[in-house]
Structure 1
């Protein structure tokens, strides 16, 4: 399996993990779709990026949080309560992507 196909499949899995709680909370459809595509593409970026000097286990959390910052600023403008949850999701799911990639693909 190529690295891109692996990252796309992993991206779908990670995106589903992120949106299931959103669906259960009956959040707006546009928010669910946006979160799905965000985590799908973030996973592809994490898997296919190498940052020299950064340990493999830290790479996903750092990239996930960095790519989530614009959304945090946008969401935090109106309501600051979801910021810790969104931040934790970005770090945890990014780290899960790094771990899954390290142990499954490499």
Structure 2
């Protein structure tokens, strides 16, 4: 069953609301381990992050791919940029978590 959590967007040099920072046990619980490869897809005002295998990852354009950073104990997904602020101007998002998939939309 999918779980929904609210996240406040963070700040980068580009300004407030330009960073989505996801980390830790929640990532591990949903299959996002350190060094896992993911696709980022913008669709209808949502950002969808899904696990993909290495071959699929290599075929993706650079702006559509993410590797889970951090460490084995504390994995991190860090998505930054003006596109984040433009898509989620409220500065808060709801993330719906399921195995191998995170759907992020404005809250």
More helix by share: 1
Q: TM-score, normalised by structure 2?
A: 0.28
More strand by share: 2
Q: TM-score, normalised by structure 1?
A: 0.29
Q: Which has the higher contact order (CA 8 A, sep 6+)?
A: 2
Q: Which has the larger radius of gyration?
A: 1
